[in-house]
Amino acid sequence: MKRTLLTLFAALAVLPALADEGMWLPSLISERIDDMRSKGFRLTAEDIYSINQASMKDAVVLFDGGCTGELVSPEGLLLTNHHCGYDAIQRHSTVEHDYLTHGFWAMSRAEELPNEGLNVRFLVRMEEVTDRLKAGETAEEIVRRAEAEGKGFRASVEQMYYGNQQFLFVYRQFDDVRLVAAPPSSIGKFGGDTDNWIWPRHTGDFSMFRVYASKDNKPAAYSPDNVPYRPGKFFTVSAGGVGEGDFTMIYGFPGNTQEYILSDAVAYIAERSDPAKIAIRTGRLDIISKAQESDPALRIHYAAKQATIANAWKKWQGEALGIGRRGTAETKRAYEEAFEAWAQDKPAYRDVVKRLREEYARIADPYFAREITAETIYALPAKYTAEERAEAVFARREATERAQWKYLFGEYARRCPVQYQTPAFLRGVASEGSPEAYAERVFEGVWSGRDTTAVTALRDDSRRMLSHITWLLGTKSLRNLASSRLNELYTLYIRGLREWDRERAFYPDANLTLRVAYGSVAGYRYADGEYHKPLTTLDGIIAKDNPEIYDYDIPQVLRDLHASKDYGRWGVEIGGRKTVPVCFLATNHTTGGNSGSPVLNARGELVGINFDRTWLSTMSDIAFDPDICRNIAVDIRYVLFVIDRVGGAGYLLDEMKIRR
C-alpha cells in the first residue's frame, strides 16, 4: 500500500496539465478565459472566437494544408513561415531568377506570383455533433449539409478525446493565393539544418502571400480579374516588442500530438521507431548533400526535398533525447499504475490498461514494417514524369537518384521484419543476389522509362502487403502507432482518466484543427544548467556570419546595415547597444502545423511568427514538460526590418496597422 501511494503521488505531481500546457478548442475557450486573464490577457473569449461578429479566428488560415498563416492588412496580405512557402518559392526559382538565394519582392500587385494548387482555409465555425451522430446521422451527411451552405465551403468531422466527443469544422477555402515577398534563404533559412530545432536562433523565417477573391469577395479560381480579399478581421502589428514574462498566445493549426498514449507507445517511439527512421534519413541526406555541393542546379532542385527530409530527421532526434532525459516512459508508467490501482473496483476500467498493453504487443511489428516501407520503398518515385524529363537538370540527377534507390532498397531489406517484406522484393533480391543489385535493375527501367514492369510489380505487391497490415490493424487512420482495437480501448481509457483525475485539465490531442495555446516569454536552462535568455538580436547573426558556410553566409546588405547601425525605426537599445531583435522564446504548447502561427500579446496584437521549438521540446508531442518545452518565434520587428531595409518593400508596411 505504501508503494502504491508513493507511486500515485509521484505520478500526480508530474502529469496533470501544468502552466502553459494545452491546445484548446476556440469554441470552448470561455472555459479557459479566466486563467488566461489571470496571466495577463486583456480581451474576451468573444474576441478570440465568435460566429456572430468578426473575431481573431477570421484572421487565421490553414495554409497549404499543413501550416498556419495570418492576415495583417485589410487587403488580404498574409504572413506565414519561409519554410511554409518554400515549395512555392522554389517552383518560381530558376538559375537565372533564383528567388531561394536572392529573395523575392513584388513591387506591385501585378508582380505577385500565382501558385497553382496552393490554398488557404478560414474556419467559419465549429460545433459539437456527438449527439447528432448518436442519433443516427452519419459524418458524411453532416459534412454534405455543411458544405452546401456556401461557396467554397469545406467541412470535416473530427474526433476529440479518442471519439468521446465529435466536432464539425466548416471552412471557407480560397484557391487564388499569390506570392508577394520572401527574404533570401540566407535570412529565411539562416542556420539551415545546423540551427534547426536549436536555441539561440537567428532565423528570419517568414514569407508573404496575398489572398485573392472574386469581385464580390467570394472564393474563386485564379483569374487576372480577381481582387485582394477583404477579411472580416486582420491583426494589428505591435512594434513595441516583448519582454521576459510577457503574456503570449498562439492561434493556429497544430498537426498531431499523442498526449495520452501509454508508456508502451512512448518506448516504441523513443527506442525503436525514431532511431530507425533517423538512420534511414541520415543516409538519404548524405546522398542529397553530395549532389547539392556538386552542382548549383542540383542544389535548387533538391532544396525542398532536402528540407522536408531534414526537418523530421532532426525532430525525431530531439524527441527521443527529450523522452530519455526526462524519463517520460517511466513517469507515464507510474501514472498508469496509479490509475490501475484506482480502477480495481471499477469494472468498466479495471483491465483497460492491461488490454492496451496486449494490443501494443500485437501490432508493434506490422506497424514498424509499415513505417519502414514508407521511409524506403514509398520514398522512391514510381516513375519520372514527362515534365521532369523535360527539365534541363534531369540528366544530371541520374547518379543521385540511382544512389538513393540502391541505398533505400538495402535499408528496407535490413530493417523491415522479413515476414512483412513483399514477395516481389524477396524474389527480386534472390534473383539478383542483393538488394542493391535488384535496385539497379528496377532503377534502369524506371529511369529510362522503357520498362516499368519491375517497379509496377513491386508497387502492386507493396500495396497488397500494406493492405494486409491495415487489415491486421483494423483501421486506415494510422498517423500514429494505432489500431481499431487501440482506438476503442483509448476511448474507454480517456473516459476513465477524466473520471479519475479530476484535477487534470484535459485538452484534445492536436489533429490539424484550430487551437489556442497560451503562455509567456521565457528562457530556460538546458542540460548543462546554463540559462538561455529568451531574446536574440542582429548582433548574434553577425557573430555567426561566415561566407565560407552556406547556411551562415548572410547578405551583404545585413553586414552593411549592422556596420552603419542604420536600422531606421526598427532599431532598439538592448544592453546599452543599438540593435534589431530577431527571435524570442515562449512557453506556448505547439507542434507541427503551428508553423506560421501568429504569436499575439495580451492585447491580441501580432508580436511574432511561430516557426520552431527547441530541440528537446519536440517531446511535447507526447508529454509537455514546462522546464524545457519552448516555442521559437521570429520577432515581428525583425520581419518589418527585413521587409523595409533589406527588401526595399516598405510600401507593404503601409497596408498594415502598426502600433508602437
Cα angle for residues 615, 510, 306 (degrees, 5° grid): 45
Q: Radius of gyration (Cα) for the chain, nearest Å?
A: 25
Question: What's the rounded Cα separation, in Å, for the pair 551 and 541?
Answer: 11
- Residue 636: how many other CB atoms lie within 10 Å: 28
Q: CA 208, 70, 631, 264 torsion: positive or negative?
A: negative
Please report which helix (H) or strand (E) contains residue 383, including its range. Answer: none
**Residue matched to cell numbers 464580390:** 216
3-state helix, strand, coil split of the chain in percent (to 5) is 45, 15, 35
Q: Is the peptide bond before 508 cis (omega within 30 degrees of 0)?
A: no
**Known catalytic membership, residue 64:** no
Catalytic residue among 595, 597, 617, 620: 595
Q: What one-letter code names the amino acid at 169?
A: F
Please report which helix (H) or strand (E) contains residue 583, including its range. Answer: strand 581-586
C-alpha cell recorded at residue 450: 522503357
Question: What's the rounded Cα separation, in Å, for the pair 605 and 602?
Answer: 7
**Residue matched to cell numbers 492588412:** 73
Catalytic residue among 58, 195, 205, 509: 205
**Known catalytic membership, residue 238:** no
Question: What's the rounded Cα separation, in Å, for the pair 621 and 509?
Answer: 9
Write the CB contacts of 623 (distance below 8 Å, at least 6 apart in sequence): 15, 259, 266, 323, 326, 328, 331, 332
Question: What's the rounded Cα separation, in Å, for the pair 635 and 584?
Answer: 6
Q: Which long-range contacts (CB under 8 A, 24 or more apart) does 466-471 make?
A: 466/370, 466/373, 469/366, 469/367, 469/369, 469/370, 469/420
**Residue 158 near residue 479 (C-beta atoms within 8 A):** no
Please report which helix (H) or strand (E) contains residue 137, including its range. Answer: none
Closest CA to 455 of 444, 442, 467: 442
Report phi then psi at 365, rounded to 5: -65, -50
Question: What's the rounded Cα separation, in Å, for the pair 245 and 564?
Answer: 32
Cα angle for residues 641, 644, 648 (degrees, 5° grid): 140
**Separation in Å, CA 90 to CA 70, 82, 87, 101, 388:** 22, 11, 5, 10, 15
**Known catalytic membership, residue 83:** yes
Catalytic residue among 82, 83, 301, 562: 83
Catalytic residues: 83, 205, 595
